[in-house]
Amino acid sequence: MTVGGALAGGGLRAAARIRAEADARGISRLPVLDGEGPLAVRRIRSAGPEARVALVGAMSAPLGGDRLTVAAEAGPGARLDVTSTAATIALPGQTKEPAHYDVRLSVEEDAELRWLPEQLISAHGSALQVTTRAEVAPGARLLLREEQVLGRTGEPPGNLTSRLTVRCAGRLLLDQELACGPAAPSGWDGPAALAGHRALGQLVVVRPELAEAPARPQLLGELAALTPLAGPGLLVTAVAPDALRLRRALDEAVRVVG
């Protein structure tokens, strides 16, 4: 395995690419499964027709200045589940430059992608910009979970910005940006935004039937809410005191949305 390349600023560049395609019997195969450096990808045994992949953190990343890209595609009619084996921890690097972590998800016609990685932890002193873009074709289905944990236990968080964009049949369904940490605009931890909670998460569901029959808004406890989006999708937003309670809330949300 070779690392994609060292960058002048001191970080590294690495990419992982996953593509699932359905074979003639409807079983999803993985014609593309490439990782490098800190981004290793592993096929996991699947009991059903779906292909399953785990992202494995093969070295400490992202550090300041790193540029990481993960692209996952489910080809027409394919089913792809992606998880990760451990939380991703953003750490300070040798450079003051922020790290960039770009996730590109593509769900082609009648395909289904379940993107359920472990938490992203923003360690003290780190700076990370996460961009997640999902393109969902007509008839395709997406389940996407993102969890951000601000600081390891008992430490103040680093700087974390995250932008999540979901396009469905070319139309913008969700565009959401979060900024946390000492460099974020003031008020990020106040009563309008996080109010001292150290874990936050989103669950996005895109399904064609939600266009005709939108989900009903629903509270899931005091700190999580399910809301229909303006199109064939729904969003669960949750905050929690810690990662464990956040996961409980989002697991409950996954049960509710079925």
**Cα 153 from chain centroid (whole Å):** 22
Amino acid (one-letter) located at 161: T
231 Cβ contact partners less than 8 Å away, ≥ 6 residues apart: 168, 171, 173, 210, 211
Per DSSP bridges, beta strands 120-122 and 99-107 are: unpaired
Q: How far is the CB of 145 from other proteins (least distance, A)?
A: 15
Between 51 and 249, name the residue whose CB sits nearer to other proteins. 249
Contact yes or no for 103/49 (Cβ under 8 A)? no
CB of 221 to other proteins, least distance (A): 10
**Minimum CB distance to other proteins smaller for 42 or for 171:** 171
Residue 53 and residue 58: Cα distance in Å, rounded?
Answer: 15
Q: CB-wise, 26 or 217, nearer to other proteins?
A: 217
- Please name every residue paired with 175 in a beta bridge, in sequence order, or none if there are none: 165
**In the complex with other proteins, which residue's Cβ is closer, 95 or 218?**
218
Q: How far apart are CA 212 and CA 241, in angstroms?
A: 36
CB of 220 to other proteins, least distance (A): 9
Q: Shortest distance, CB of residue 143 to other proteins, whole angstroms?
A: 16
Question: At its nearest, how many Å lie between other proteins and the CB of residue 123?
Answer: 21
**What residues make contact with other proteins under the rule CB under 8 A?**
163, 165, 171-179, 185-188, 190-195, 200, 214, 217-219, 222-231, 235, 237-239
Paired with 11 in beta bridges are none
The Cα 106–Cα 140 span in angstroms is 10
Which residue reads 């899931």 in tokens?
220
- Least distance to other proteins from the beta carbon of 88, Å? 20
d(C-alpha 183, C-alpha 214), whole Å = 37
| Count, residues in the chain | 258
Closer CB to other proteins, 82 or 224, in the complex: 224
Nearer to other proteins among residue 51 and residue 226 (C-beta): 226
Q: How far is the CB of 116 from other proteins (least distance, A)?
A: 20
Q: Specify the residue, 209 or 222, whose C-beta has the smaller distance to other proteins.
A: 222
Please tell me whether residue 214 adopts helix, strand or coil conformation. coil
